[in-house]
Amino acid sequence: MLVAELRNRAGELAADGHVLPGAADALTAVGAVPGVRQSVLTGNLYPLAVLKMTVFGLAEHVDFRLGAYGDDALERTDLPAHAFARTERYLGRRHHDAPLPCAKVGAALQQPVR
């Protein structure tokens, strides 16, 4: 029900929100680096994350299959493990226990991404 309501109000979201200057250019530049895959890690439910990224013209820059979303875990600090597991499942690469090069943009995370 929440998802349907927000989809119906996508026009309001677009009118009231905005993309930070340079965000699309940054996603384009990073996406052009060979071997780089971009996704999102967010407390939003999966369909809302897709909606927001689509409304603001950023969805084409990310692979949503590799992300982690609010419906994956109760604590946001548990989300990176879900994203790494999806990456392994979809791309066939295992990340082991070493920290990976990750960039965080947006809302604060309580713990570092590992």
- Asked if 80 and 46 touch (Cβ cutoff 8 Å), the reply is no
Provide the pLDDT for residue 1: 75
Provide the pLDDT for residue 35: 85
Provide the pLDDT for residue 112: 47
The pTM of this model reads: 0.78
Provide the pLDDT for residue 2: 76
Provide the pLDDT for residue 103: 57
- Asked if 74 and 95 touch (Cβ cutoff 8 Å), the reply is no
Cβ burial, residue 63 (10 Å; 0-12/13-18/19+): middle
Provide the pLDDT for residue 111: 44
Provide the pLDDT for residue 105: 58
Provide the pLDDT for residue 7: 85
Q: pLDDT (tens digit, 0 to 9) for every residue of the chain, 114 residues total?
A: 778 888 888 888 889 999 999 999 999 999 999 988 899 999 999 999 999 999 999 999 999 999 999 999 999 889 999 998 998 999 887 765 555 555 555 554 444 444
